[in-house]
Structure 1
Amino acid sequence: MKNFKLKSILLLVALGCVLGLVANVATSFVPQTSVTAEAATKKVSQAKQIKKINAHLSKKQKAAKKWIAYRESGYSYTARNGRCYGRYQLLISYLHGNLSPVNQEKRANSYVAGRYGSWTNAKKFWQHHHWY
């Protein structure tokens, strides 16, 4: 009887190990959709916010803003150049610790409005000085 109990316990342990291994292998083939879905949702949300931030700009202003973004960073929100960062190469301190694309769009619009009055004026300045 003692031998039967020992064999039963060993069989249950072995079966548990096999089932655990099978469960681990099976879950390793399941794609991690929650992470990618979350990232996609975040990008869509950011795109909507950016569109709203730039809604007041005319086509001409949007074109000038896009032109500057290309010259400054190749449209990259993570471009770095010394103390400047992002799509519009603003001073990192001007971004107040928030390097998100949404904040970069807001701050760039604010900077250009305050310094040049419009994106088209900023573009003209850039064309003469190769910075803005």
Structure 2
Amino acid sequence: MKAAAVKLGIGTCGVEDLALVAAATVISVPAPDRFVLDVGNKALGTDRSPWVTGHGYLPQFPQGTITGLWEHHAVVRLPEGVRGPRLGALVAVVPNHICTPVNLADELLVVRDREVIDRWQVTARGANT
């Protein structure tokens, strides 16, 4: 893997270097400046360095901040005037650190132009000692 949101936050990589995203669905839009995703700390991990704002990076909404993270969902806040996604939209989220999300996945999907082109089994899954 090339980089995660922490590397982007400290400036050691660019957006084009981000290599892993979690696909999340918008499950609620309670306010114009806020939406809720069906991805939580099991998919994103809980790592949060002091120099990173929020619990991940949203390539489609770079001004957005994941302000709340629970086991199965995340709350995103947008600055005033930034239009958010619609209910049911698919949103990419780059975890701050990729170790936990990869460790908790059975497989990773390789996607290019929204098409799954390969599947990688996580062979170390559950092999922590």
Which interval holds the TM-score relative to the shorter structure? under 0.3
Going by fraction, where is helix more abundant, 1 or 2? 1
* TM-score when normalising by structure 2: 0.21
- Whose strand fraction is larger, Structure 1's or Structure 2's? 2
Question: Looking at CA atoms only, which structure, 1 or 2, has the larger radius of gyration?
Answer: 1
| TM-score in terms of structure 1 length | 0.21
Relative contact order (alpha carbons < 8 A, sep ≥ 6): 1 or 2 greater? 2
